[in-house]
Chain A
Amino acid sequence: MAKIMIVDDAAFMRMVIKDILKKNGHEVVAECVDGLDAVQKYPQFKPDLVFMDIVMPNMEGTDALKKIMQMDPSARVVMCSSIGQQSVVTDALKSGALDFIVKPFDAAKVLEVIGKVM
């Protein structure tokens, strides 16, 4: 079981991911509505893993990733991307993201990634 933080501006996406995680015995310790929120909540909740959306208002996922990696170089961040964002994802991976999942994803994909990075 991992303590997981979800960062996505769409409540819908947060709900989908959260349900997948909870059904499979993981704990969602925090939900963030944008990158800024994530940067503020990360030190507070110290999650084992962060699912980070990329395109968000106020602060994008890649910027939040960089800030979190600065705070905690051992942070485990998985990017949630959409088709057509290869360069952004590549950039995020170079900045320390451990892996990525591509929307639309299913439960199996999410769990596979957790298994791989934990």
Chain B
Amino acid sequence: MDMSEYKDIFKAESEEHLQQLNESLLGLEQNPLEIEYINTMFRSAHTLKGMSATMGFSTIAELTHEMENLMDMVRKCQVAVSDSLIDILFECLDTLEALVESVDTGGEVNISHLQATLTQAMEGALCAVEATGNIASSLAGTVSINTQENLKPAHETEMHIQLSESENADIETAHHEGNRILELKVMLDPSCVLKSARSTLVLINLSKMGKIIKCMPSEADLEDEKFGFEFSVVFATKEDDARITEVITKISEIKAIDISALYACENDETESTIKEDTRESQKCSSGVKRSESVKSIQSVRVNIERLDNLMNLVGELIINKIRLNQLASDINAKSLDESLANLDRLTNEIQNEVMEARMVPIDQVFSRFPRMIRDLAKSEGKQVDLVIEGKEIELDRTVLDEIGDPLVHLLRNAVDHGIEPTGERIKLGKPVAGFVGLSASRQRNSVIIEVQDDGKGMDPGHLRDIAVKKGIMNREEVDKLSDTDALNLIFVAGFSGAKTITDVSGRGVGMDAVKTKIEALGGTVKVSSVPGQGSSIKLQLPLTVAIIQSLMVTIAGETYAIPLANVVRDVGIKARDIKTIEGKEVILLRGEVLPLLRLRDVLDCPGEAEKKENLIVVVVERMGSNIGFVVDQLLGQQEVIIKTLDNKLLKNTRGFAGATILGDGSVALILDIATLI
């Protein structure tokens, strides 16, 4: 069977289970007695085992199998939840994550060390259990895939039929009632995995046709799998051999059945037939509390590409609708009004529905942070309480995919640079555990994500000093900065607030990269901080990236869209006020030197610009500083639907975020300020 087509869904679902395992394990660490966490982990490990075995990923199957066994022992109170156990399990989850990840690449992950640790954890517990004299049930829990073959076929050798008095009496009675007394030898297929269950199925089917007088080995041993691949039954029945053979061989994994008549019976040895209570362990596991009220959600998985296509088509539809409106007004066709109004309403509804369908709860990103913060705090010897709010807030999938890394960076900063070491916190009279808050909230058409901490905060004066030391600005310049602007220095490329670069932060993306990323999404970043009390970084993100608010301008007769997120303001200037510094045009605006760029030149438009005295300048913000774009004409604000330029021919185009189609059917390019200059 070719399983490769299932790889994607396998990965996606495995990742969900891993997330659930991580969350439960974090919960368990906080509250080691909460049975629901243990049960959830057991179930997830079990499900992963079944899935990976089906895919043929034996390493994942082995590891999850052992985790499942360990969790089973935990829930039966045979293993205590200790710090070391939690650590082992976290290591398991990390390894599993790597294994699931390597499914595509086919890379090998060595798990033998981890398996040894797991076995040790279980064996250690076993010894303890043995001391309390409760071995039987725990043994069942530690049979791993590999050791299953090692089970001794204790009773496989020749079986003598030894009947007890009561069994003899049973035979007597059955014989009198006109039954034939048979000895059945049932042989299982060697590929049979659950021998005990298979033998039970045989016994159930037999008991429908007659009376089972004796099993060899005993029924209890059969259920415990204490037999090889065959067992015998003394059976009283009125059915003929052919019928019995038919019924039994109809059961899967039965290799053969051998029937022989049994008339005489020697012997009088008494044998106790007390059945062990094999159900004991089961009772324990089924006594688990469950919530019965959970309603299943009707949902389907849809490839994100489909949704992108759908969004694109809706965009086309809207553009055509706008054209239609324009045409209708051009020809003054009043009769079209009503149906056009309907079309308007319907396209708006479709657009909203598609946008909703692309929305996913922000929890998909947030959920990995508790684990990250825990590890981070542990490695730095700090205590941190992460408080997450608003994880149900929904965001466009595309936006969500992009904010993961920036948030990781902000949270790392909060723990690494924000929260003080425990000793220092005590000295300052702050709570021992530092507070890191991560919250999401919806504000009209945007989502606000805030990362807060109650750590040492940022000192504007200190930031000014760093800026000077790093040569970003000179002393005179920094002294002119307001405190808010000084805080914004952290977003300047090449600026790192860390006194020493540690393992955790101060590598990978910097704050400038965070800002660039958020702005590329059409969002904004704001920082505030009170020295000694903590910092807060607020990200404002658009709900969707498919539609953006733009300022429409014309340059050399062409229409262009400038994303409103980049626009600071527009101003009219006089050509005679333009000065030059080192050959570059600038203008003094509200006491600030504003570099000017003529978009006509930047975009290399053909033709000459007419010499005008009154010029229109759009001031945009880029990397923390302002630039003025000289444009020909302002057309006003408009919502535009982005058509990305990601096909082969255009994907390397710089300076444009995409294109949009205007109501009159013409195309306008959307400027990407970050790559334009």
Contact = CB atoms under 8 A, between A and B. Distances in A.
A76 to B, nearest CB: 14
A57 interface: yes
Contacts of B204: 93-94
A84 B50 contact: no
B291 A58 contact: yes
Contacts of A68: none
Given A81-B194, A100-B197, A113 B252 contact: yes
B296 A12 contact: no
A6 to B, nearest CB: 14
B282 interface: yes
Contact of B69 (A16, A55, A62, A84): A84
Interface in B282-308: 282, 286, 290-292, 294, 296, 301
Interface string A75-118: 00000111111111111011000011011111101001100100
Given A12-B10, A83-B65, A100 B50 contact: no
Contacts of A105: 54
Given A16-B6, A102-B194, A112-B252, A93 B50 contact: no
B278 A87 contact: yes
Nearest to A32: B296
A116 B194 contact: no
A109 B193 CA distance: 13
A57 B291 CA distance: 9
Most buried by B among A11, A55, A84: A84
A26 to B, nearest CB: 16
Contact of B1 (A32, A103, A107): A107
B51 A12 contact: yes
Interface residues on A, range: 35 or more
Interface string B55-74: 11000010001001100000
A36 B143 CA distance: 30
A13 interface: yes
A94 B286 contact: no
A60 interface: yes
B50 A13 contact: yes
A9 B47 contact: yes
B194 A100 contact: yes
B201 A93 contact: yes
Contact of A82 (B50, B148, B291): B50
A82 B282 contact: no
A55 B251 contact: no
A113 B252 CA distance: 7
B223 interface: yes
Contacts of B422: none
B196 interface: yes
Most buried by A among B6, B47, B223: B47
A56 interface: yes
B46 A12 contact: no
A8 B196 CA distance: 23
A10 B196 contact: no
A92 to B, nearest CB: 8
A12 B286 CA distance: 26
Interface in B224-253: 225, 250-252
Interface string A39-66: 0000000000000010111111011000
A82 B53 contact: yes
A33 interface: yes
B398 interface: no
A90 B196 CA distance: 7
A37 interface: yes
A15 interface: yes
B579 interface: no
Contacts of B14: 12
B54 A104 contact: yes
Given A11-B9, A89-B196, 20 more contacts: A13-B47, A36-B296, A55-B46, A57-B43, A58-B292, A59-B290, A82-B50, A84-B65, A84-B68, A86-B194, A86-B196, A87-B196, A88-B282, A89-B200, A90-B196, A90-B223, A103-B50, A103-B53, A103-B54, A104-B61
30 contacts: A9-B47, A10-B50, A10-B51, A11-B301, A12-B13, A16-B6, A36-B294, A37-B296, A53-B50, A55-B43, A55-B47, A58-B294, A63-B286, A80-B50, A83-B53, A83-B65, A83-B194, A84-B65, A84-B143, A86-B195, A90-B196, A90-B197, A90-B200, A93-B197, A93-B201, A94-B200, A94-B204, A100-B194, A100-B201, A102-B193
Interface of A: 9-13, 15-16, 20, 32-34, 36-37, 53, 55-60, 62-63, 80-91, 93-94, 99-100, 102-107, 109, 112-113, 116
Interface of B: 1, 3, 6, 9-10, 13-14, 40, 42-43, 46-47, 49-51, 53-56, 61, 65, 68-69, 140, 143, 145, 148, 193-197, 200-201, 204, 223, 225, 250-252, 278-279, 281-282, 286, 290-292, 294, 296, 301
Closest 6 CB pairs of A and B: A89-B197, A104-B53, A86-B196, A103-B50, A104-B54, A90-B200
